[in-house]
């Protein structure tokens, strides 16, 4: 459980950093796209490493860090490509981020379904987050904005919303998992005590 806590702290810290990057893009939409590429590339690599680390935590239900091994590898590869070839990638940033958030939304839908199956009460909030994330991803792919500033603001809103969403999901699901584990342990102890008394 201690490793889960450490993974959760690292995960939440990284998501907070991504949310801050999103806020920077919203407040300073005229920032150069090259700087945006480097920020996104570094954030993606760090996020990928944290996701892979979280995947190997002892999460008994697989909710808090679900799909994080594959998603972590994808994030690291995308981050490396963006940093190594920023000039060639700048025009593709909306498409790359759109695909990323669309996949993220789809995976969060699965997380919401599993959360409901495990009895997590606020599973529907995860579902709403998934739909919003996936919808924004599709919007980035369609890219109806002619202005680079408007596109940067949308990208910032996406990063901010996704960062906050991931923080909530990680914090809430791990908390729910800990409650379930403690409850199961309590039931097991009570059952064992009764069996011992019966014997």
- Cα Rg for the chain, rounded, in angstroms? 19
Q: Contact, 54 vs 61, CB < 8 A?
A: no
146: helix, coil or strand?
Answer: coil
Any long-range contacts for 185-192 (C-beta under 8 Å, 24+ apart)? none
In 3-state terms the chain splits into helix, strand, coil percentages (rounded to 5) of 85, 0, 15
Half-sphere CA count of 126, side-chain side, radius 13 A: 27
pTM reported for the whole predicted model? 0.71
CB neighbours of residue 58 within 10 Å: 10
pLDDT at 187: 41
67 confidence band (pLDDT: 50, 70, 90):
low
10 confidence band (pLDDT: 50, 70, 90):
confident
Is the pLDDT reported for residue 3 higher than 60? no
Residues 6+ away with beta carbon under 8 Å from 122: 115, 172
pLDDT tens-digit series, residues 130-186: 898 888 888 888 877 777 788 888 888 888 888 888 887 777 665 555 554 444 444
Q: What is the domain partition of the chain in residue ranges?
A: 2-198
pLDDT tens-digit series, residues 70-106: 778 888 998 898 888 887 777 788 888 888 888 888 8
Nearest one of 91, 70, 75, 74 to 41, comparing CA atoms: 75
């Amino acid at each position: 459980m201690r490793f889960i806590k450490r993974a959760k702290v690292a995960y939440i810290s990284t998501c907070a950093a991504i949310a801050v990057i999103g806020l920077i893009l919203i407040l300073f939409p005229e920032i150069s796209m090259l700087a945006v590429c480097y920020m996104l590339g570094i954030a993606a690599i760090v996020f990928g490493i944290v996701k892979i680390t979280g995947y190997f935590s002892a999460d008994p239900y697989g909710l808090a860090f679900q799909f994080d091994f594959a998603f972590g590898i994808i994030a690291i590869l995308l981050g490396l490509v963006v940093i190594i070839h920023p000039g060639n990638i700048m025009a593709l940033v909306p498409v790359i981020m759109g695909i990323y958030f669309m996949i993220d939304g789809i995976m969060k839908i699965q997380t919401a379904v599993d959360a409901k199956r495990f009895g997590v009460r606020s599973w529907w909030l995860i579902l709403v987050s998934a739909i919003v994330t996936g919808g924004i991803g599709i919007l980035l792919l369609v890219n109806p904005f002619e202005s680079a500033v408007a596109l940067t603001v949308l990208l910032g809103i996406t990063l901010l919303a996704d960062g906050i969403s991931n923080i909530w999901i990680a914090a809430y699901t791990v908390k729910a998992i800990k409650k379930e584990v403690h409850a199961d342990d309590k039931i097991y102890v009570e059952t064992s005590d009764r069996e011992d008394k019966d014997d």
